[in-house]
Structure 1
């Protein structure tokens, strides 16, 4: 008879199951941990008297995670037959687990205010790695020799058993601060604490601090109305300030506080944040040791939030805080949340490296990422992490600057890789499916069980000579342009001189006079709409293909009719949702396809997502699980070409 404790866990990452295994070892508990595709199970002997105290202690050990769901417990006569996800030792890039956080803020610990505190199941590991296998010799910490205490800990502490990047204040990385006049080093408990105290005090007084974190250089400052804030990220220093300054659903709060620490677009609440950022902004909770220690000192100064920009080391600032060990930062990951649905929009941190539990004689390359056969799995990571590789096939994303001279190199399109990625994640390869891929252009795809076909290709769009294209649409279009030029001369002149690779969302944002001239700007403006319904924006022509110029002409007409821009931004996505749902329904009816896949960053929009769910919620809609809905999933999908 087994006693089984089961947790929903929708990820193939092993940081949670690894912590459970380490805790069971230190607790002296005989149990088996099984990590399957959708659950983590802990199997106990029913008669063990320590189960209750073990589970109570587990609650203090486990961090919050965006992948953790409901839990339950039950008895079973037989051991569940589950296929466990293969565990491969790869470097993580997470925030700190509760045990490591406790050490970092414990004055008696060897890691008090040591920002590089981590263990086998948490912390910034990937930025220090230079290659595989995941060993200290393949990291930028290879010249730092662990002290006697760390060497002993690698044997006695289950959390750090054989941990490749173990270090502490006595044997680890020192941090230095430069104010332009002098330099100070942190190399003991007192000096580490003082460095972060000084940094926080400088920011509180209105100074800027450029800090090297394990997630790249960040310039921290107090946000003010004079600064260009649309490119900055709001860093909440204290969770107690969330309800005061932000308007969030429970899932958004949980995501920000999770060990994965994604970027989340959240609605602002307080008047001061609305004045600075508008109705929504990208929010982050401290995600690495450097940022966490800075935030702790800011909390002590009663500073509830600051802002930062991601930058390079050449950016000017009043103070510079950095360290001598080089790191390769990953692109931060954005998370989309709509009630119980969540998926990554874009990014690399936490998502990569990724492991596919099968091996194929192929290498794929996309967006500086590569999928490479290694032992009996496919390993997906940044290209520079791999040495020369032998393969019979090479699949490279169209437009990728990559010269291989491989005799069997094949170029593939983003939409093809994206759709195959989602089908593979849902074990739906070989089954008919319709795909919607929406980035700067909208594609309707058909997968016949063997290959992805571009069923309804997008019409081409050129920003050059924009008004010439609009003027040729239909009778009266030339008068629309004349009226628009009179009503909005500055916008007209700006649009009339556009050239080069400018997408339709940038053009739309310029047309509407948004501060952030991008898809992100339109999306943020749409989120601030508080009405119940939008207006119909033109999203089609007779052959059912989206017409970019008819779409822009429709917006111009509404502008001349003095329709509010917030309503128009919301209506853009509502109209796209109606159009997408209609075309998908027609394609499903014709092909009898079983699934519908959705990919492309544009689909990560609340209004568009809600509209698609409203019309197509009864269909089997497949979203990404472990990979972004955006471009980075292509490296995974290309394995299956």
Structure 2
């Protein structure tokens, strides 16, 4: 017997790849209907056999991404007169709903970033449905590109093909871009004048290694940066005489060189959010972290 149900999902369900996951799960089971971002939730209408609908609901938790956090589900009678399963344009106004957090670059995006044959080779703003900026670029919900900091960057043909391919991990990923259609990386001096260079990131690194203090502006904020040896200048600029400064490291192994990393800290450092974690500084002759980074 064919039935239609309307399901409302509440929680962190926008900006985390939930709609693409719902689409694939529904199509896989031959269900018709739609999925749509609303102001405070995601609405799903399913039309199909009772067994297929129940299978969809029981299997969804295993098919959604790790960033989704469903807090509440409401199941009601639904109605769908169309054909197939589609992702509908968002509706509704922003209400009391959870914004998704920023997520560190995933392994697949990193592999592409360092693959010389990939069109995103060394592209610093790469992301997909599983990673990238969310909280810092979202201006309002429902979550769509036109309500993010990427609204002025129109997708190129290649990005558009990824965006519309249900089997691609960038399917309906709202903030994707590449060298052809995304933000430009550039370098400026202390007076705000643009520095002409073919590789702004490499030139920035060279100046950091020479002992200068710099500011990196990313997706949603700025970071004052310097080598540990000249971190005293950052303390002067911040008027922060004692509070520990954040130390950027390449990986968990390098973090263990400087700090005492217990299991809780390790889980936090390796979590998708990659937060700043406060740990005890290591002591000893082999530890050469500048004193001004973390006095005392």
1:166 is aligned to 2:171: no
For residue 202 of structure 1, what is the aligned residue in structure 2? 207
Query: Paired residue for 2:253, among 206, 223, 240?
Result: 240
Deviations 1:561-592 (A, max 9, x none): xxxxxxxxxxxxxxxxxxxxxxxxxxxxxxxx
What pairs up with 1:455-470 in 2 under 5 angstroms? none
1:183 is aligned to 2:194: yes
Q: Structure 1 residues 159, 255: CA separation in 2 closer, same or farther (over 3 Å shift)?
A: same
Q: Structure 1 residues 123, 34: CA separation in 2 closer, same or farther (over 3 Å shift)?
A: farther
Query: Paired residue for 1:119, among 122, 128, 138?
Result: 128
Larger radius of gyration: 1
CA–CA distance in structure 1, aligned partners of residues 194 and 213 of structure 2: 16
Please state how far the C-alpha of 1:16 moved relative to its aligned partner.
Answer: 12
Q: Structure 1 residues 144, 277: CA separation in 2 closer, same or farther (over 3 Å shift)?
A: closer
CA–CA distance in structure 2, aligned partners of residues 196 and 17 of structure 1: 29
Query: Paired residue for 1:273, among 289, 292, 296?
Result: 289
Q: 1:218 aligns to what SS in structure 2?
A: strand
What pairs up with 1:206-605 in 2 under 5 angstroms? 206-224=211-229, 227=232, 228=235, 230=243, 232-270=245-283, 271-273=287-289, 275-278=291-294
Q: Structure 1 residues 238, 200: CA separation in 2 closer, same or farther (over 3 Å shift)?
A: farther
CA–CA distance in structure 2, aligned partners of residues 217 and 89 of structure 1: 24
For residue 149 of structure 1, what is the aligned residue in structure 2? 158
Deviations 1:410-442 (A, max 9, x none): xxxxxxxxxxxxxxxxxxxxxxxxxxxxxxxxx
Deviations 1:296-329 (A, max 9, x none): xxxxxxxxxxxxxxxxxxxxxxxxxxxxxxxxxx
Q: Is 2:153–2:181's contact at 8 Å kept on the other side of the alignment?
A: yes
Please state how far the C-alpha of 1:176 moved relative to its aligned partner.
Answer: 0.8
Please state how far the C-alpha of 1:208 moved relative to its aligned partner.
Answer: 1.6
CA–CA distance in structure 1, aligned partners of residues 57 and 201 of structure 2: 39
Deviations 1:349-390 (A, max 9, x none): xxxxxxxxxxxxxxxxxxxxxxxxxxxxxxxxxxxxxxxxxx
CA–CA distance in structure 1, aligned partners of residues 101 and 59 of structure 2: 17
CA–CA distance in structure 2, aligned partners of residues 176 and 248 of structure 1: 36
Q: Structure 1 residues 90, 17: CA separation in 2 closer, same or farther (over 3 Å shift)?
A: closer
Q: Is 1:105–1:112's contact at 8 Å kept on the other side of the alignment?
A: yes
Q: 2:273 aligns to what SS in structure 1?
A: coil
CA–CA distance in structure 2, aligned partners of residues 220 and 34 of structure 1: 48
Higher helix share: 1
Q: Is 1:15–1:121's contact at 8 Å kept on the other side of the alignment?
A: no
What pairs up with 1:16-165 in 2 under 5 angstroms? 18=17, 40-41=61-62, 85-86=72-73, 92-156=101-165, 157-165=167-175
Q: Structure 1 residues 29, 109: CA separation in 2 closer, same or farther (over 3 Å shift)?
A: farther
CA–CA distance in structure 2, aligned partners of residues 233 and 150 of structure 1: 35
Any unmatched runs of 5+ in structure 2?
1-10, 30-54, 75-96, 236-241
Q: Is 1:160–1:166's contact at 8 Å kept on the other side of the alignment?
A: yes
Deviations 1:454-491 (A, max 9, x none): xxxxxxxxxxxxxxxxxxxxxxxxxxxxxxxxxxxxxx
Q: 1:244 aligns to what SS in structure 2?
A: helix
Q: Structure 1 residues 29, 256: CA separation in 2 closer, same or farther (over 3 Å shift)?
A: farther
Q: Structure 1 residues 239, 84: CA separation in 2 closer, same or farther (over 3 Å shift)?
A: closer
Greater RCO between the two (CA within 8 Å, min separation 6)?
2
Q: Structure 1 residues 220, 261: CA separation in 2 closer, same or farther (over 3 Å shift)?
A: same
For residue 50 of structure 2, what is the aligned residue in structure 1? none
Please state how far the C-alpha of 1:139 moved relative to its aligned partner.
Answer: 2.5
CA–CA distance in structure 2, aligned partners of residues 261 and 152 of structure 1: 30
Please state how far the C-alpha of 1:42 moved relative to its aligned partner.
Answer: 6.0
Q: Structure 1 residues 34, 230: CA separation in 2 closer, same or farther (over 3 Å shift)?
A: farther
Q: Structure 1 residues 91, 107: CA separation in 2 closer, same or farther (over 3 Å shift)?
A: farther
CA–CA distance in structure 2, aligned partners of residues 240 and 255 of structure 1: 14
Q: Structure 1 residues 116, 85: CA separation in 2 closer, same or farther (over 3 Å shift)?
A: farther
Could you say what the CA RMSD is over the residues aligned between the two structures, in angstroms?
Answer: 4.2
